[in-house]
Structure formats: C-alpha cells, structure tokens
Amino acid sequence: MHFFDIFPTFEEAPYSYIIVPIIMISSVIGFYYKPYFHALILHPYEIARRKRIHTLLTSACIHRNLLHLLFNALIIYGLGYDMFGNIMQVYGTLTAYVLTPLLFFLLISLPNLFQTFQKRNDFYFTSMGASGLAFGLYGFSALFFPLQPMKSTIFSFVTNSVQLWFCGLLILILLAQIKKTKINKYLHLSAYLTGAVLSIVIRPQSIIEVYNFIFN
C-alpha cells in the first residue's frame, strides 16, 4: 500500500500540500523563537490604528500549542482538498487553481477583520491560529453542494449536507453564549458564516437548492 492509495495526490489537493506545511513549519518556529511569534500575532488594537496590517494574514501561521496546530492542519488539509475538488468539478481545473488560494486568503483575512472591529479598543486582546480558515472551510464545503447525501453519528436525523451545516451553525451559536472560555468563539462563528456566503457567491445554485429543500 502506498501513501497516495489513501491520501489525495498533489494534483488533487495542491493547496493542501502547500499551505499546511507552511503553517506547520511557521508555527513550530513560533513555538521556539518568540520574536518571530510576536511579529506575526494579531493585535486588533494596533490594526485599528493602521499598524501591523500584515497580521490579518500572518496570524494564521502561528499557534498557541501543538494540539491547536494539529487540529487546524488536519481540517485545512482535508477541507482544502474538498474545496479544490468541488470548484474543479463545477468550473474546471484552471478556475480551481486560481480561485482556491483567493478563497483561502478571504477565509483568513475577513474573519480577522471582523475580530479586529469587535476588539479594536481592547489593548490586551491578541489572536493567532488558522481556526478562521478551518471553520471557514467547514462553512464553505457544507453549502457548496447542499443536497449531497450525508450521515452523522451524532445527529441521526441528518441526511444531507445542508442539514449538517445548520447543526454546525446551531452548535457555534450555543458555544458563543459561553462567557468564560479561551475558545475564540466569535471568530469561529464569523468564519463559518463567511465560508457559507462565499460558497453561495461561487455557486449561486446552492441557495436555490437550499430554498427548495426547506420550502418544498
């Protein structure tokens, strides 16, 4: 048995094999070299004052700990492959190569912009990690083909992708009500919704399919 008998090839998931190693290597450097870590960390207070704008993107390349890194890397690897494949299926290979990195960029930067607006006056708040990209990919993949058959071991009533998307949304909304937690709950929620919106923009047919499923 070979590696690519189980995992996708580079041609099937090019950005999974490019972005994930970059994030992992950069994060490991950040674990041991703190000047590098602090240079990439997101500080909304400074961004709101037109400083450290680059950290809207670079903060995805550092993580708090190894568990945080591995979780995000695994999700981005799998769902990055899913995004590339879905776009290629609808629009072709060239569009997938051009559009996927743009969507990665938006799924990192837009939730961080929301976070910056929310925390713009909090001098002590900082953020890091690729969770925005990970949850954005969740939101995107679940709505790109919303009627795709799907099963869940947790939610037995789930039969398709849009039902699973709504379950994910409900869980994130409930988690957002927890006041004392270190989880960046609003970033996760905003990224999930951003991914969903981008999915509908890229494939408008999705919203028609969702509407017909709900009301027919």
Tell me the per-residue pLDDT of 174-213, one tens digit each, with 9 for 90 and over.
988 887 777 788 899 999 999 999 999 999 999 999 898 8
For 116-158, give the DSSP string. Answer: HHHTTT-TT--B-SSHHHHHHHHHHHHHHSTTSB---SS-TT-
C-alpha distances in Å from residue 23, one per residue of 39, 66, 83, 114, 117:
15, 12, 18, 22, 25
Report residue 3's pLDDT band, with 50, 70 and 90 as the boundaries.
low
Q: What is the CATH number of domain 3-215?
A: 1.20.1540.10
Evaluate if residue 5 carries a pLDDT over 70: no
Average per-residue pLDDT for the chain:
92
Is the pLDDT score of 92 beyond 60?
Answer: yes
The pLDDT value given to residue 185:
82
Model confidence band, residue 2 (pLDDT cutoffs 50, 70, 90) = low
DSSP calls for 83-111: HHHHHHHHH-HHHHHHHHHHHHHHHHHHH
- What is the pLDDT averaged over residues 57-77? 95
Structural domain boundaries in the chain? 3-215
How far apart, in whole angstroms, are the C-alpha atoms of residue 48 and residue 180? 25
Tell me the pLDDT tens digit for each residue of 10-33.
Answer: 999 999 999 999 999 999 999 999
7-21, 51-65, 102-116, 177-191: least confident range: 177-191
pLDDT in tens, 157-176: 888 999 999 999 999 999 88
The yes-or-no verdict on residue 147 having pLDDT over 70 is yes
Provide the pLDDT for residue 41. Answer: 96
Q: Residue range 81-110: average pLDDT?
A: 96
Question: Whose structure tokens read 């903060």?
Answer: 59
Mean pLDDT value across residues 77-92: 96
Least confident of 85-94, 108-117, 183-192: 183-192
pLDDT band at 156 (very low <50, low <70, confident <90, very high): confident
Query: What pLDDT is recorded for position 106?
Result: 97
